[in-house]
A and B are shown apart, each in its own frame.
Chain A
C-alpha cells in the first residue's frame, strides 16, 4: 500500500529524493471519453465531462496526477482557428489562422475570458477541488516557439523562421505575451505545475544552434514570468543535445522521448533536472502484460535511482488506442518494481 500521497511522492521525486515509490503520471486526455461512453467531440464540449472523466480514470488506475488538458488545438481554437475532430484521436487544428506575414501583424491574442480558455480553467478548478492538495493537477501551456506549427502549418512556420526573421520575432512577442497570461491564469486556478509543451525545441525538430538563437531565449523569458513551476515537454522529440540549455531555462523537469536512452539522459541530468517518460505510446497499444511489465522495469532500472524520475509515456498523451489492460499492467508493474529502495536493482552494476 502507498505510504505517501501522490503530491508528496511527486514533490520528493522532483527534489531528487526517493519517495515510497516511483510516481506514475498517466497522461490521459481522450480516455475520459471512453470512461463516460461518449464521443471525443462531445466529451471535450463541456468542462464537466473532462472533470468527471479524469476523476473516473484516477479512481480506476490511481495515477499520481490529474490532467485537465483538452487537446493542443484548443489554443489555436481560442485564437479563432477551427478544430477538426476524428473519432479515435486528438482533435487537429484546421486551416492555419496565419496565412501571410501581414496576418502576423493583424492577429490578436485571445482574452482570458475567451470561452475555450474558460472551459479549460473550469476543468482545472473542478480537478483542483477534487484533488484537495493530495494529487498534482498539471496544466499545459504550449510554448510560443511551438504553437506556430498549428497557427501557420509546419511549412509556413519553417519558411518564416528561416526566411523572415523580423516577422518571426514579431509573432514570438505576441505568442510570448499570450503564453505568460494563459499560464498564469492556470496558476491562479490552482495548477500544481505547468507542462511547457515545446516539441519544436527538441533536436528532432530544430538544430541545437537554431534553438539557442530562438526557442531557448523565448523559453527562458517565458518560464521566468510564469507563476507555477514548469516541466518542459519535448513530445517524443530528442532532448540530449540540448540538455544544458533545457536546464538553464529554469524548468524542473523534462518530458523525454523513447528514441533516447533513459540511462544516458539520467547521467546527463542527475540532481539537476528531473525526467518524465519515456514509455513508447505508439507501441503501447499492442503490448502484452509481460511486455508492459518489462518496459516499466527497464525505465525504472535506468532512471529511478536517487529520485528525479516520474514514469510516464514519451509523448505527453496516451493514445486512444491503448487498451485498459495495458494501463492496468503498467500500474501493477510500478507497484511491483517501483517501490523504493530499489532492492532488486543494484545501481552500481548499471
Chain B
C-alpha cells in the first residue's frame, strides 16, 4: 500500500471509529520511524478530516473520535511526540465556559502534530488566564469556546495578556467564531482556526515566521 492509499485508509478508519483498523495500518509502518508514520499518514488523514469538517461533510463526533484514536496511537509511538512540531509547547484553555470538547480535540491534534500541550482547563476568568500565561511565559495560546458570552469575554483576556505578555500569540476557535467571521478580530485575537488542524498549521506558520 502506498502512502496515498494509507492516508485514505487511515481517514476512513478514523471516521468509522474503527480503532483496530487504524492500528493495523500503523503496524504496516513497523520498521520505519514513528515520525514517518505520523507525518506521512496520520497527520494528512487528520488534515483531510479537518477540511471535511469545515465543509460540513463529517460530524464533530467523528472529529473527536478521530483525535482520540490518533492520540492513542501517538502514545504507543514513543518517538511520536518529537515529530513535526519539535516538541514546542502550546497552551490551551477554555474561558468562562464549561464546554471542553473543542479543547480536547485541539489537544489531540496538537499532540499528534508533535507539540507538547499545556492544558489550563476550563471555566477560567480572564485574570486567571493572564496570570497563567505570564507565569509560564507562554508563546502560543489557543482559546476554545462554545458559547457567545465566553467568546466575547476573550477580549478582556486578550487585553490583559497583551499588557503583561506582549510576545504571546493568541489563536481562537469554536462555534461563535464559525457563525461570525468578524468576531476573532473584534476580540483582538492574532488568528482564528476554523478547525483544530488549521489551528495547528497557524502555530507552525507563526513559528516559521518568528524563526
Interface residues of chain A, those whose CB is within 8 Å of chain B, are 84, 86, 88-90, 92-94, 153-155, 158-159, 161-162, 203-207, 210, 236, 238, 258-259, 280-283, 285-286, 319-321
Picked from A154, A203, A321, the residue with its CB within 8 Å of the CB of B101 is A154
Smallest distance from the beta carbon of A106 to chain B beta carbons, Å? Answer: 23
Asked if B128 is an interface residue, CB under 8 A from chain A, the answer is no
Contact between B179 and A205, CB atoms less than 8 A apart: no
Smallest distance from the beta carbon of A201 to chain B beta carbons, Å? Answer: 10
Could you give, for residues 64-85 of chain B, a 1 whenever the CB lies within 8 Å of some chain A CB and a 0 otherwise?
A: 1100100000000000000000
With contacts defined as CB atoms under 8 Å apart, how many contacts are there between chain A and chain B in the complex? Answer: 75
A-B contact pairs, 28 of them (CB 8 A): A84-B98, A86-B149, A89-B147, A92-B97, A153-B100, A154-B64, A155-B64, A155-B101, A158-B64, A158-B101, A162-B65, A203-B56, A203-B59, A204-B56, A205-B60, A207-B59, A207-B61, A210-B59, A236-B179, A238-B56, A258-B179, A259-B179, A281-B179, A282-B148, A282-B176, A283-B179, A286-B182, A321-B148
Picked from B60, B101, B104, B180, the residue with its CB within 8 Å of the CB of A204 is B60
6 smallest CB-CB distances across A and B, nearest first, come from A89-B149, A154-B101, A282-B179, A282-B180, A207-B59, A283-B180
B residues near A155, Cβ cutoff 8 Å: 64, 100-101, 104
Q: A153-B100, A282-B183, A319-B148 are in contact. Are A207 and B175 (CB under 8 A)?
A: no
A residues near B60, Cβ cutoff 8 Å: 204-205
Contact between A259 and B56, CB atoms less than 8 A apart: yes
Smallest distance from the beta carbon of A296 to chain B beta carbons, Å? Answer: 18
Asked if B117 is an interface residue, CB under 8 A from chain A, the answer is no
- Which of A90, A204, A205, A285 gathers most chain B CB within 10 Å? A204
Asked if B206 is an interface residue, CB under 8 A from chain A, the answer is no
Bound-state CA distance A94–B148 (Å) is 18
Within 8 A of A (CB), among B45-65: 56, 58-62, 64-65
Smallest distance from the beta carbon of A126 to chain B beta carbons, Å? Answer: 28
Contact between B180 and A210, CB atoms less than 8 A apart: no
B residues near A210, Cβ cutoff 8 Å: 59, 61
- What residue of chain A has the Cβ atom nearest to residue B17's Cβ? A162
- Which of A159, A161, A162 gathers most chain B CB within 10 Å? A162
Bound-state CA distance A89–B59 (Å) is 26
Picked from A207, A280, A285, the residue with its CB within 8 Å of the CB of B58 is A207
B residues near A84, Cβ cutoff 8 Å: 98, 123
Contact between B148 and A280, CB atoms less than 8 A apart: no
Asked if B152 is an interface residue, CB under 8 A from chain A, the answer is yes
Bound-state CA distance A210–B61 (Å) is 10
Contact between A88 and B61, CB atoms less than 8 A apart: no
Asked if B131 is an interface residue, CB under 8 A from chain A, the answer is no
Picked from B59, B123, B149, B183, the residue with its CB within 8 Å of the CB of A320 is B149
Could you give, for residues 10-36 of chain B, a 1 whenever the CB lies within 8 Å of some chain A CB and a 0 otherwise?
A: 000001010000000000000000000
Asked if B96 is an interface residue, CB under 8 A from chain A, the answer is yes
Smallest distance from the beta carbon of A313 to chain B beta carbons, Å? Answer: 11
Contact between A93 and B61, CB atoms less than 8 A apart: no
Q: A205-B59, A283-B179 are in contact. Are A93 and B149 (CB under 8 A)?
A: no
Within 8 A of A (CB), among B141-159: 147-150, 152
Contact between A89 and B62, CB atoms less than 8 A apart: no
Bound-state CA distance A153–B148 (Å) is 19
Contact between A89 and B179, CB atoms less than 8 A apart: no
Smallest distance from the beta carbon of A213 to chain B beta carbons, Å? Answer: 12
Inter-chain pairs besides A154-B64, A282-B183, 5 sampled, C-beta below 8 Å = A84-B98, A86-B96, A89-B149, A92-B97, A285-B148
Bound-state CA distance A285–B101 (Å) is 26
Could you give, for residues 171-184 of chain B, a 1 whenever the CB lies within 8 Å of some chain A CB and a 0 otherwise?
A: 00001101110110
